[in-house]
Amino acid sequence: MVLTPYRESRVVAVSGERIFDIVADVERYPEFLPLMREALVVRRDANAYETQQTLALGLLIYRFRTRTELNRPHSIRVTSADWTFRRFEIGWSFTPTPEGHCRVDFVLDCAIRALWLNPLGDVLVAQMGLTMVDAFVTRARKLNPAPGV
C-alpha cells in the first residue's frame, strides 16, 4: 500500500532555533516520542548524522537506519536507504514569524517495501504522522515554559 505523504503546518510559540535543536537531538527521542524505543547516532559529520532507531508497537519491534541532514536553523531532512522502505523521507522546515514564534512545516513520506510488513508499517507511519509535531511542540514547551507558567 502506498500512503499519501502526511503533511502538517502550524505556528508554535517557540523560537525556530529551539525547535530545530529539539528535532535535531535524535538521541533524546525515546524520552518523549511515542513508539520510539531507541535512537543511537552511529556516525556524525559536520552537518549530518546516521542513526540506528528502534520503534515498538506493542510486542512488535522494528529497527532501521536513517541519515539526517541539518541546515541550521532552517530545515532538517531525514532519509533512509533501509531495505524495508520503498521510500522514506521526513522533512522539517522552520520559519520565524514577526512575533518571535516559528512556523513549522512537517512532511512524512514513507512506503514499506515488504508486503508482509505493510500492515505494521502503515500503522506506524500513520501513528507517527499524527503525533510527531505535537510531541516536539510539547517537548519544547516543557523545556522552555512560557513566562508566568
pLDDT for residue 137: 86
CATH 3.40.50.920 for domain 6-143, yes or no, is no
* Residue 26 CA: distances (Å) to CA of 31, 66, 89, 102, 142: 10, 11, 15, 20, 17
Instruction: State mean pLDDT over 30-59.
Output: 91
C-alpha cell of residue 121: 508499517
Most confident of 6-15, 18-27, 109-118, 140-149: 18-27
Q: What is the pLDDT at residue 116?
A: 54
- pLDDT tens digits, residue range 78-131? 999 988 788 899 999 999 999 989 999 999 988 777 665 555 556 666 667 778
Q: Which of 89, 114, 113, 93 is nearest to 102 (CA)?
A: 93
In this prediction, residue 1 carries a pLDDT of 45
Provide the whole-model pTM: 0.86
CA distance 1 to 7: 18
What are the tens digits of pLDDT across the range 52-92?
999 887 777 888 999 999 999 999 999 999 887 888 999 99
